[in-house]
Amino acid sequence: MTDSPTYPRYPSQDDVPEGVAQSGATAAPGPAAPHSVAPTGYAQPLGLLTALTVGVAALYTALLLPRFWLAQDAVERWERQEANGGLAWDLWTPYELVDAASFPLLLGAYVVTCLWLWRVRSNLEVLSPTSPHARRRGWVWGGWLVPIVSLWFPYQVVRDALRVRSHRPSSGARVGWWWGAFLLGCFATGVESVFVPVDEIDTASIQHLPAFAAATTVLFVVACALWIRVVRAIAADQAELLAEAR
């Protein structure tokens, strides 16, 4: 099995030294792009990483699809358990088992997505070294994990990767809709978990669990569909850049 081909950075207007115009005349130096770096290494096709990124996102979303029906079933099981004198937390339901199975899948999605974004960013630093990025490359991984900044750093990383080639204001909006749906889905998941019994059932509140499970599913399905569009757009942009570099 051979390694995937690599492509050197192609010469472009980005290669004109700062302060020198295309005609050779000296021009006034403009402000430096935030976090632009000197090009090093070689660009590599996204290839399999793109397919894995899309696939793991779709798989995680598919796992969430039956949550509404599983939540209804769980409520009935917990109520029967309490009615028979047992404790709700002694009974594991399919709803909870699916939640437990989703965690390692979510962890895998994080790793695959960050590997993909890392290569995207590395390629851009070679093929378009003066393109601006709001965050340094390390935030590709850390932006999802650090409290507070995780609310917007991943959005900025993805937005900047898309708009490098597109140069369209709609690029930020496209990423924004995905990120908004994703954050709302995470919030709904947190609220939903409040209704899961810890020691005994709160009969009044547990009835709302299926509704929140349905809301969570809808939000993540929307987020997944938008994310796949973003991934494909970035992959197409990078394919064009790599083709021009040959």
Rounded average pLDDT over 190-216: 87
- Dihedral of CA atoms 100, 65, 193, 94 in degrees, nearest 10, equals -50
Q: Nearest-CA neighbor of 61 among 146, 164, 185? A: 185
Q: How confident is the model at residue 18 (pLDDT cuts 50, 70, 90)?
A: very low
47-64 helix and 209-245 helix, angle to the nearest 10 degrees: 170
Distant-in-sequence, close-in-space partners of 245: CB < 8 Å, separation ≥ 6: 7, 8, 9, 10, 43, 127
Measure the CA–CA gap between 58 and 229, rounded to whole angstroms: 12
Token pair recorded at residue 201:
């059932």
Q: Nearest-CA neighbor of 45 among 1, 3, 6, 2? A: 6
Q: Nearest-CA neighbor of 152 among 169, 175, 171? A: 175
18 — alpha (psi -120 to 50), left (phi > 0) or beta?
Answer: beta
Domain positions in the chain are: 45-245
78-134 pLDDT tens trace: 999 888 888 887 888 999 999 899 999 999 999 999 999 999 999 999 988 888 899
35-93 pLDDT tens trace: 544 445 688 889 999 999 999 999 999 999 999 999 999 999 999 988 888 888 788 89
Measure the CA–CA gap between 63 and 217, rounded to whole angstroms: 9
208-228 pLDDT tens trace: 999 999 999 999 999 999 999
- Look at residue 135 and give its three-state secondary structure: coil
